[in-house]
Amino acid sequence: MKRVIALVDCNNFFVSCERLLKPELIGKAVCVLSNNDGCVVSRSNEAKRMGVEMGAPYFIAKNQFKKVIFLSGNLSYYCEISKRIMDKLYDFTPDVEVYSIDEAFLDLTGLKKTFNCSYEKICERIIKEIKDEIGIDVSVGLSYSKVLAKLANDKAKDLQKIKIDKKNYKIGFRQIKQELQGTLVSQVWGVGKNTASLLKKYSIQSAWDFVLQEDIWIKKNLGKTGLDLKQELLGNSINPVQNTDSPPKTISRSESFKEFQTNKTYIQKELNYHIHRVCKKLRQENLLTSCISVMLRTKDFQIQSIKINLVNPTNTEFELLEHSKNILDLLYEKNTVYRSCGFCAMKLTIATVQQISIFNSTKTLKRQELSKSWDKLEEKFGKNIITLGVK
* Binding site residues, Mg ion, CB under 5 A: 9-10, 102
Shortest spacing between CB 2 and Mg ion, in angstroms:
27
Nearest CB to Mg ion, comparing residues 56 and 104: 104
Give me the least distance between CB of 9 and Mg ion, in Å please.
Answer: 4
Is the distance from CB of 18 to CB of 111 less than 8 angstroms? Answer: no
3-class DSSP state for residue 248?
Answer: coil
Q: What is the largest CA-CA distance in the chain?
A: 66
Query: Minimum CB separation from Mg ion for residue 100, in Å?
Result: 8
Supply the minimum distance, in Å, between the C-beta of residue 168 and Mg ion.
14
CA dihedral 239, 343, 327, 359 (to 10 degrees): -90
| Measured CA distances, 341 to 141, 167, 187, 273, 385 (Å) | 34, 41, 25, 10, 22
DSSP codes of every residue in 258-303: EEEE--HHHHHHHHHHHHHHHHHHHHHTTEEEEEEEEEEEETT--E
- Looking at the Cβ atoms of 101 and 356, the one nearer to Mg ion is 101
Cα–Cα distance for residue pair 58/158, rounded to 1 Å:
26
Closer CB to Mg ion, 33 or 344, in the complex = 33
Q: How far is the CB of 101 from Mg ion (least distance, A)?
A: 9
Q: Which residues contact 10 (CB under 8 A, 6 or more apart)?
A: 16, 82, 85, 102, 103, 136, 137, 138
Under 8 Å between Cβ of 84 and 77:
no
Ramachandran class of 308: left when φ > 0, alpha when ψ lies in -120 to 50, beta otherwise: beta
* Minimum CB distance to Mg ion, residue 82 (Å): 11
Closer residue to Mg ion, CB minimum distance, 11 or 314? 11
Closest separation in Å from C-beta 75 to Mg ion: 15
How far apart are CB 241 and Mg ion at their closest, in Å?
Answer: 18
Minimal distance, residue 138 CB to Mg ion, in Å = 8
Whichever of 188 and 275 has its CB closer to Mg ion, that residue is: 188
Least spacing, CB of residue 87 vs Mg ion, in Å: 18
- Is residue 256 within 8 A of residue 339, CB to CB? The reply is yes
Report the amino acid identity of residue 47. A
With respect to Mg ion, which residue has the nearer C-beta, 13 or 343? 13
| Residue placing its CB nearer to Mg ion in the complex, 85 or 282 | 85
H or E element that contains 181: helix 176-181
Q: List residues bridging with 100 in a β-sheet.
A: 103
Judged by beta carbon, residue 85 or residue 267, the one nearer Mg ion is 85
Residue closer to Mg ion (CB basis): 102 or 317: 102
Least distance to Mg ion from the beta carbon of 151, Å?
Answer: 15
- Which CB sits closer to Mg ion, 13 or 144? 13
Name 349's bridge partners. Answer: 288
How far apart CA 51 and CA 71 sit, in angstroms, is 17
Burial of 292 (C-beta count, 10 Å sphere; 0-12/13-18/19+): buried
* Under 8 Å between Cβ of 349 and 287: yes
CB 15 within 8 A of CB 28: no
Which one, 17 or 294, has the nearer CB to Mg ion? 17
